[in-house]
A and B are shown apart, each in its own frame.
Chain A
Amino acid sequence: NAGVTQTPKFQVLKTGQSMTLQCAQDMNHEYMSWYRQDPGMGLRLIHYSVGAGITDQGEVPNGYNVSRSTTEDFPLRLLSAAPSQTSVYFCASSYGQSPSGANVLTFGAGSRLTVL
């Protein structure tokens, strides 16, 4: 049981390049999400998905695309990288968003992206 697996751990891009951050979970979680973490700020939600074929925007979606073709995978695509996208990215999953339980998020190890 690997939990949430993110790749790559580190990436350096030039402005304008595109790339995909991979995220996979083996816990059969319905809910998956992408956050970015910047110094002095709380985690900010980029995009999320409540099940295969369903995605929605979070707080800071501009410049990012997602898709959810399977329950397990939730890749994040940077279309044309900008220096403002330099950050640490976390993928996180949970059983759902039901208000009846804690629905604890399980996070991947993080991907540190630098855009020059």
Chain B
Amino acid sequence: GQNIDQPTEMTATEGAIVQINCTYQTSGFNGLFWYQQHAGEAPTFLSYNVLDGLEEKGRFSSFLSRSKGYSYLLLKELQMKDSASYLCAVRDSNYQLIWGAGTKLIIKP
């Protein structure tokens, strides 16, 4: 079966750095996505990785290792507005997205 694993919840301090991990086992691989979802709102796109390595976009970076079936999202200089759920999704060989259950990130002052 296909599976995406992420921690259920993480807590971090404002101004700090946090790394949210995602491991996957899917039928094929055609890219990995990270989305942010604030409570009661729709998911919004954060990043896309299809090749191994690090993609940096402002305070957010995403890393992919296809051989290890592993990705992480790195958030720097945390702000209170970063409190949200972070969803990892992998596009499989049929180009369908397989979604993780999401990681709820709590930021404390």
Interface residues of A (CB under 8 A from B): 40-45, 58, 90, 97, 99, 102, 104-110
Q: How far is the CA of A7 from the CA of B68 in the complex (A)?
A: 41
Q: Which residues of B contact A45 (CB under 8 A)?
A: 96-97
Total count of chain B residues near the partner, CB < 8 A: 24
Instruction: Decide if B41 touches A109 in the complex (CB within 8 Å).
Output: yes
B90 CB to nearest chain A CB (Å) = 10
- Report which of A40, A44, A97, A109 forms a contact with B42, defined as CB distance below 8 A: A109
Among B41, B95, B99, the residue within 8 A (CB) of A99 is: B95
- Residue interface mask B31-48, A partner, CB < 8 A = 1: 101010000111111001
- Partner pick for B48 among A41, A44, A90, A104, CB 8 A cutoff: A104
B96 contacts A41, C-beta separation under 8 Å: no
| B4 beta carbon closer than 8 Å to chain A | yes
User: CB distance B95 to A102 under 8 Å?
Assistant: no
B87 within 8 A of partner (CB): yes
Pair A102/B100 contact, Cβ less than 8 Å = no
Interface residues of B in 29-76 (CB under 8 A from A): 30-31, 33, 35, 40-45, 48
Q: List 19 A-B contacts (CB under 8 A).
A: A42-B89, A43-B97, A45-B96, A45-B97, A58-B96, A97-B95, A99-B91, A102-B31, A102-B33, A104-B33, A105-B45, A105-B97, A106-B45, A107-B42, A107-B43, A109-B41, A109-B42, A110-B40, A110-B41
